[in-house]
Amino acid sequence: MPKTATRAGARHQINFDLNTWLDARSAATNTALDRFLPSEKTKPATIHKAMRYSIFAGGKRMRPALTLAAAEACGGTEADALPLACAVECIHTYSLIHDDLPAMDNDDFRRGKPTNHKVFGEGIAVLAGDALLTQAFEITSLAKGWPRYSHRDLVLEVAKASGSLQLIAGQVADLEGEGQKLSVAELRYIHERKTSALLCCAARLGGMSANCTPAQLQALTDFGYHVGLAFQVIDDILDVTQTSEQLGKTAGKDIAAQKATYPSIVGLEKSRKIAQQLTAKAFAALKPFKGRAAALEALAHYLLTRDK
């Protein structure tokens, strides 16, 4: 991660120390998650150990960072945004635990550590995912509501992004697409749901926690959507260009699983170009914030230039 983020293809440099910003937000997220989740000693200990194993497995906290950065861009406070940032991270972690199961992507390693079911067994891994999904809604309802964004709105936001038309639809289409020749449109359908939906939700929740204007919410929606698509295209690229050691997870999985990816459909160079175009659209979405969205810009830049 560069110490000073440079906006790809832009005319000027962003002077923003993303490392320092991310470290502080990640620490705050970890402290809050530790507070929201039952301790490892809480009965039954197994399930809480399993939940915490995956929650504290070294995730980069990109989704909470998006929520917190969006809140900042809308003039909100970290305290108001943190519960929603944690709820999104619980959803993200649950989806990883379930996606890694033998009946789905059958992954033995995640972030360089054995996956949840390799440590706790499949039964507990299913339940740990279930528990984190449920916990996400408990945490969401503990967040602060506003007249413009009630608890009903917040819960609906999380439920819709995570439900059978979005996050789960993405995983289903991904499973069903294995070994199939997909078009770019079909691949985008998967990416929109598997990745963009939750990134979009993360950004929107940050805005909602700050009682943002409808125009700001729309800007965050566009931003999250395009960052999400770019993020997934880059994930596809890294899967074929990096080693397992560099990634901290099994590389070349997409090819092994015969999954359609951007590189396999349009080639590496075109994939890189698409990622850059999507990022440019994400930057464009931030215009209404008129320079108050430095953290969001730096995050988008990081997501485009990351190497793991």
Query: Which parts of this chain interact with its own copies (CB under 8 A)?
Result: 38, 42-44, 46-48, 51, 94, 98, 101, 103-104, 121-127, 129-131, 133-135, 137-138, 140-142, 145, 150-152, 155-156, 158-160, 162-165, 168-169, 171-173, 175-176
Contact 33, 64 (CB under 8 A): no
Contact 240, 188 (CB under 8 A): no
Contact 262, 187 (CB under 8 A): yes
Nearer CB in complex with its own copies: 120/225: 120
Contact 194, 232 (CB under 8 A): yes
CB of 212 to its own copies, least distance (A): 20
Contact 186, 206 (CB under 8 A): no
* Max CA distance (Å), the chain: 56
CB of 285 to its own copies, least distance (A): 26
Nearer CB in complex with its own copies: 77/164: 164
Nearer CB in complex with its own copies: 78/186: 186
Task: Return all residues near 17 (Cβ < 8 A) that are at least 6 apart.
Answer: 3, 4
CA atoms within 13 A on the CB side of 181: 1
Nearer CB in complex with its own copies: 158/229: 158
Burial class of residue 201 (count of CB atoms within 10 Å of its CB; 0-12, 13-18, 19+): buried
CB of 55 to its own copies, least distance (A): 12
User: Phi and psi dihedrals of 109, rounded to 5?
Assistant: -130, 145
CA angle, 15 then 237 then 165, to 5°: 95
Nearer CB in complex with its own copies: 26/141: 141
CB of 87 to its own copies, least distance (A): 11
CB of 135 to its own copies, least distance (A): 6
**What span, in angstroms and rounded, lies between the C-alpha atoms of 89 and 61?**
7
Nearer CB in complex with its own copies: 176/307: 176
Nearer CB in complex with its own copies: 9/121: 121
CB of 49 to its own copies, least distance (A): 11
- DSSP code of residue 144: P
CB of 163 to its own copies, least distance (A): 5
CB of 277 to its own copies, least distance (A): 26
Nearer CB in complex with its own copies: 46/276: 46
**What span, in angstroms and rounded, lies between the C-alpha atoms of 34 and 28?**
10
Rounded to the nearest angstrom, the gap between the alpha carbon of residue 125 and the centroid of all alpha carbons in its chain is 20
Q: What number of residues does the chain have? A: 308
Contact 102, 147 (CB under 8 A): no
Nearer CB in complex with its own copies: 194/301: 194
Closest by CA to 143, choosing from 210, 61, 54, 95, is 210
CB of 132 to its own copies, least distance (A): 9
